[in-house]
Chain A
Amino acid sequence: MIPSLFPLFDITTRNLNDGAVIAASSFCRKAISAKPECRRHYDSLKAKPEGYHQCPFGMTSRNFYFDGALKVITGVIAFPRFDSQAEQNMAKKFPEIKVSRDTIEKSIRFLRETEKLKAAAVQEATQVLPQAFHELRKLNGAIIQHAEKEISERGDLPGLITIRSAAELMRNNFDILEALSNIEGMKALPTEATISLLDLTYKTMRVLDQRASSRGMHIHVDGVKAIIRGNQKSFPIVPAVLLENAIKYGRERSVITADVSTSNNRAVLVVKNETDYFIDPDRCFERGVRFSNAVEGGGFGLFLAKEIVLSHNGTIRCDSLNGKIEMIVTLPLVKVGQQK
């Protein structure tokens, strides 16, 4: 809603909002919903030039374009007047709605100035925010790498492992945010790097292990070392989303399994968990579709996972039966590597 000093009518939404100085009169509110001549008046303003027009009941309407849409300051008696009988009647009936045209012009100018400032702020944000995001990622990357270095030099100190895991978790979230902001770019990334699905799933499990522990859950990863072709930037989002969802929506103190196998020249990743929430296997990959308001989330994870899997010539589906969820991803298999 645009803050206005006077009653403001939005032609597109047909909403009449109160002004900060003059509220919309009950007469106008009723007329807009009930009187056909009132509706015709506002419709006719679409074709009229910006300026002052009298409504069939004697009120003043000032139409103007703002933020690409037609708005109308209306439900007032503005001076200089049209000098009609209807206008005089309204002025007597509602003395509190009198205003000068000069004041209305000043308020429109103010709105337009505000809009310019907003546009400049948005413009600046589009330049500054990616840079700020980048700096955050770099800082987070430095934490991961320094923690890793310390661990390799001084051993697996529990505090360092926690720090590294937290920073890796943060990186997963950065990846998801970035992918959501530029899905087409993410889908266009080269998918030629070789990725061990088992190693990647294991690594993701390691990152999410503490989060699972906090809900009394355990993640079990097993399978064969299926090698696929993929992108190192986008593909790790897939197991991260599947395991994160399994933790978030899974039953407390249950076991999540992630199994990697091969079948008909395809690498297959199956993530299984138990849940108390209903999930619609057909709709769970749609953008913004969520199945619980009790758990924090935006309903973007599975949508994103699906987009990434498809860009890797893969398939993803969900099976749900009696509180058991299976997320099944298949991808073209390059080879099966040797187990360590």
Chain B
Amino acid sequence: MWEDLKFWKKPSLSAFDQSLTREHLIQAGRLVVIDDEKPLLIEELKKEGFSVDHDVTGQDLHHIDNQIYDVAIVDYHGVGQRLGPMQGLDILRHIRRVSPRTRVLAYTSRSLTAAESDFFRLSHAVLPKDLGLEDSLKLIEEELKKAFGKEHLFEAMLAKLNVVKAEDKEQIKKALLKSLATGNTNQFKETLSKIAGQAAGKVVETIISKLHLVVTL
């Protein structure tokens, strides 16, 4: 009995991160580049087969609010004026608030002032505009992979539902682990409704589907 306990490891969500192939990522991933210019990178991403939208103003927040993007590549200057004076930083903050599952890349080669430096700090990664194409694609693919990571999606779901109590988090995690192991999402959704309210399932529908992506692919 003691021997069993000694080697027993608490199950983790990352254990379910079966390695998604590049093809899976390309097939399932959804990217947006928010930049007032048209960087060569967009052409390259499309050539590689990625589904990528180009938003030149950052005004159309419909898709962002609907949490459809896995990765958002956000320029600082010339975009996002509708949201506030901090341009790209205001977009970045908006995305992190409404779509916490979206990995946000700070896309600029400009040195920013102290007041603007949150743009780098709050991003998931910095993608310098003058990075080579191959390195840029590699970094974006890495972030896309992270966007499908179970731990990341779980944390994003909690943030979206504003679940803060440790015991609630633990209960949801247990239900999620079970649902990932069995492929049955119903019990998980019930647990979620009990803790976060009836509408919880709807609010994080996209995240739930992403969490179970490998099962359905």
Interface residues in chain A, defined as those with a beta carbon under 8 Å from any beta carbon in chain B: 130, 133-134, 137-138, 140-142, 144-146, 148-149, 152, 164, 168, 171, 174, 178, 181-182, 184-185, 188-190, 192-194, 203, 231-233
For the complex formed, measure the closest distance between the CB of A182 and the CB atoms of chain B, giving whole angstroms. 6
The answer to whether B40 and A185 touch across the interface, beta carbons within 8 angstroms, is no
Please provide the chain B residues from 116 to 133 with a CB less than 8 Å away from any CB of chain A in the complex. 117, 120-121, 123-133
A-B contact pairs, 25 of them (CB 8 A): A133-B110, A134-B109, A134-B110, A137-B110, A137-B129, A138-B130, A142-B40, A145-B40, A145-B41, A145-B132, A145-B133, A146-B40, A148-B132, A148-B133, A149-B133, A182-B111, A185-B112, A189-B120, A189-B121, A189-B126, A193-B142, A232-B125, A232-B139, A233-B120, A233-B128
- Assuming A188-B117, A232-B139, what are 13 further A-B pairs, CB within 8 angstroms? A133-B111, A137-B109, A138-B130, A142-B40, A144-B130, A145-B132, A148-B134, A149-B40, A171-B130, A182-B111, A184-B114, A190-B123, A232-B125
Residues of A within 8 A of B108 (CB): 134
Residues of A within 8 A of B132 (CB): 144-145, 148, 164, 168
Q: CB < 8 Å: which of A134, A149, A174, A190 contacts B126?
A: A190
- Rounded to whole angstroms, the CA-CA distance of A233 and B114 in the bound complex is 16
Residues of A within 8 A of B77 (CB): 134
For the complex formed, measure the closest distance between the CB of B29 and the CB atoms of chain A, giving whole angstroms. 18
Interface residues in chain B, defined as those with a beta carbon under 8 Å from any beta carbon in chain A: 40-41, 44, 77, 108-112, 114, 117, 120-121, 123-135, 139, 142
For the complex formed, measure the closest distance between the CB of A165 and the CB atoms of chain B, giving whole angstroms. 11
Beyond A182-B111, A232-B139, whether A188 also contacts B120 by CB under 8 A is yes
For the complex formed, measure the closest distance between the CB of B110 and the CB atoms of chain A, giving whole angstroms. 4
Residues of B within 8 A of A185 (CB): 111-112, 114, 117, 120
Question: What are the 6 A-B residue pairs with the smallest beta carbon separation, nearest first?
Answer: A141-B130, A134-B110, A137-B109, A178-B111, A233-B126, A185-B117
- Rounded to whole angstroms, the CA-CA distance of A134 and B77 in the bound complex is 11
The answer to whether B112 and A137 touch across the interface, beta carbons within 8 angstroms, is no
- Rounded to whole angstroms, the CA-CA distance of A130 and B125 in the bound complex is 22
For the complex formed, measure the closest distance between the CB of B162 and the CB atoms of chain A, giving whole angstroms. 24
The answer to whether B111 and A232 touch across the interface, beta carbons within 8 angstroms, is no
The answer to whether B41 and A190 touch across the interface, beta carbons within 8 angstroms, is no
The answer to whether A141 and B142 touch across the interface, beta carbons within 8 angstroms, is no
- Rounded to whole angstroms, the CA-CA distance of A144 and B135 in the bound complex is 11
Residues of A within 8 A of B127 (CB): 232
- Rounded to whole angstroms, the CA-CA distance of A283 and B131 in the bound complex is 33
Residues of A within 8 A of B40 (CB): 142, 145-146, 149
Residues of A within 8 A of B130 (CB): 137-138, 140-141, 144, 171, 174
The answer to whether A141 and B129 touch across the interface, beta carbons within 8 angstroms, is yes
With both beta carbons as reference points, the residue of chain A lying nearest to B47 in the complex is identified as A149
Residues of B within 8 A of A171 (CB): 130
- Rounded to whole angstroms, the CA-CA distance of A203 and B127 in the bound complex is 17
For the complex formed, measure the closest distance between the CB of A195 and the CB atoms of chain B, giving whole angstroms. 10
Beyond A145-B133, A148-B134, A174-B130, whether A190 also contacts B120 by CB under 8 A is yes
For the complex formed, measure the closest distance between the CB of B121 and the CB atoms of chain A, giving whole angstroms. 6
With both beta carbons as reference points, the residue of chain B lying nearest to A200 in the complex is identified as B135
